[in-house]
Amino acid sequence: MKEALRESARDVPLVGHFIGGREVAGSEVLCGDVWNPALGRRRARVAFAGAEEVDAAVTAAREAYPSWAAIPPARRAGVLFRFRELLVERRDALAALVTAEHGKTLDDARGELTRGIEVVEFACGIPELLKGEMTENVGRGVDAFTIRQPLGVCAGITPFNFPVMVPLWMFPIAVACGNTFVLKPSEKDPSAAIELARLFQASGAPPGVLNVVNGAAQTVDALLDHPEIAAVSFVGSTPVAEHVFTRAHARGKRVQALGGAKNHLVILPDADLEHAAGAILGAAYGSAGERCMAVSVVVAVGDDVADALAASLERRLERLVIGDGADPATEMGPLVTADHLARVRSYIDLAEREGAQVRVDGRTHPCVRRSDGFFLGPTLLDRVRSSMRVYREEIFGPVLCLVRAASREEALELVNAHEYGNGASIFTRSGEVARWFSHSVVAGMVGVNIPIPVPMAFHSFGGWKRSLFGDHHMHGPEGVRFYTRLKAVTVSWPASSAAGGGFSMPTS
């Protein structure tokens, strides 16, 4: 790592922007570093867009909007069909790009791309999804119908943990509905977004329909403040989601801002513990825990269940293969940056001070010593209490908290008392208990014997409480509703000799 830090910035490429159908280099003065987290080496720099470049992207989108919105939905769907085919053709190259900048395994990166492609496939059905409703004879000789129309220029601000999937949650549906789009990806792994823009342009989209500006907080605020952006979609941490919602909403924009999570998985005594342990392993430690739907808290009902589950997890974690995500044998890769690694380690230190039992300590894992990359081993914290910060706060790393509850009612109370309400799961053999939990839990997404209950693309994704700011969930039917507005039209074709209207309230 020390050798990497001495590298000259001139030795690595600059990731710029994509504006008006072409790549724009961007400023080399204000930029950030992009790392290969498995090697701890700088692999690129990324230019940070200022207000001028943001305005150029919005202008390109605004100029492209009238003609794009006027294109029949079936023809817009045709562009998305071609885009979907290019994504499939470039699947391996895109996955390798994600692995190089994020650190997740190639299999995980391919899975991310597959889930993103599913949203593109959903958006290809936009002619059906935009159909309105019609009622004949709401009054004598009067008909009424509704239509859905696009909003204009929309913006998306996406996180580092899914540099392909989350952008594909947003702009395919937005543009299918007739909007144009400005995407601001994470500055930690920006290259995949530029590649998506290239592929979308190659699919036949007119210049300016999709634009990409890279940057950090200054770029985000320039988008939130821009008067010609009609709607903003965001996925990230809760403090930033709240900032995005508050600032953009105050400027009259429609906003959907998905925030943080502390997803709970409740294990009942009748559950298959070996099945549950295997499910938890991938759900808690896959992608090094850098998922908004990662299981970060397991609530075991009864000490016998907790002891058996912890022992099973310990055995499995001993065999977990950690290394470069590009190695097919790797099961868990590094964290995304050195700063994030330090932050996650600090939570393990804090857990010890708070009195948690560190049953598996990722700080002492051999992967930490044998590489210059940003590695941390899996950590299992037992006897965690709800008063601890490691329980209350989102860690976003390979750290699993095990909480012990005396009853299923106490377990549900724990889940519902937490400030986040993104996802929650229960493992049980009882249909009655599963139904009780599904109806009673205060969370936006629920799993029964499913550790990560992420909806398919034709449903919608989103949490409750402080996991979501705004009224609309993402993709699926909610995505179409977010990126369009409803218009009601009432029509009469009276005979030329018909009497004019009166002064009283019109009725049927």
Q: Are strands 153-157 and 41-47 parallel, antiparallel or unpaired?
A: unpaired
Cα distance between residue 205 and residue 208, in whole Å: 8
What are the tokens at 467?
């996991």
Cα distance between residue 222 and residue 225, in whole Å: 5
Q: How far is CA 461 from CA 363, 407, 455, 482, in A?
A: 34, 30, 6, 13
Q: Which residues contact 333 (CB under 8 A, 6 or more apart)?
A: 37, 38, 99, 103, 104, 105, 108, 287, 288, 322, 323, 324, 325
Cβ-in-10-Å burial (0-12, 13-18, 19+) of 483 comes to: buried
What are the tokens at 286?
């896959």
DSSP state, residue 456: P
255 membership: H or E segment, kind and range: strand 254-258
Contact 231, 65 (CB under 8 A): no
Active site amino acids: 292
What's the order of all strands across the beta sheet hosting 17-19? 22-24, 17-19, 210-212, 180-184, 153-157, 229-235, 254-258, 468-469
Task: Provide the residue type at 360 as one letter.
Answer: V
